[in-house]
Amino acid sequence: MSEWKNICAVNDIPVLGSRRVQRAQGPQVALFRSSDDAVFALLDRCPHKGGPLSQGIVFGNKVACPLHNWTIALDSGQAQAPDEGCTAKFSVRVEAGQVLLNQFELETVGIEFEPIKAGPCTRSC
């Protein structure tokens, strides 16, 4: 039987926006909310160059990667043609206005990738 972890309220995710979920290992998980309040969860890593999908523009049931504008389907993680590739998706449940993610998936999916690191520039420009 799967364990489900309560992450946040649906209303904590902006409409046509995202929220990130921190994990102990691997990249964060990006939660997305469509205009019709559907909630999706993907590894916060574009299949092209690893860009943070959570910082992309959400339109319909897709997100545009902020680095190179690849379009990724929120329901499958699949890059849209002509691009090819896929990012991991996570199972989502919405119960009584709360977003739940599968605990096993949170602990295992995509942990082989390094987390995205942000910080000050370390070299002179």
Please write the tens of the pLDDT for every residue from 63-94: 999 999 999 999 999 999 999 999 999 999 99
Contact 59/73 with Cβ under 8 angstroms? no
pTM for the full predicted model: 0.89
Residue 117 to residue 77: CA distance in whole angstroms: 22
Q: Over range 87-112, report the average pLDDT.
A: 96
Q: Give the pLDDT score at 118.
A: 58
Q: Over range 7-11, report the average pLDDT.
A: 97
Please write the tens of the pLDDT for every residue from 18-69: 999 999 899 999 999 999 999 999 999 999 998 999 999 999 999 999 999 9
Q: 20 is written with which tokens?
A: 């990130």
Identify which has the larger pLDDT, 120 or 43: 43
**Helix and strand numbers, DSSP H then E, in the chain:** 1, 10
Assigned superfamily of 4-108: Rieske [2Fe-2S] iron-sulphur domain (2.102.10.10)
Q: Give the pLDDT score at 114.
A: 82
Cα–chain center distance at 67: 15
* Structural domain boundaries in the chain: 4-108
Residue among 28, 25, 19 nearest 112 (CA): 25
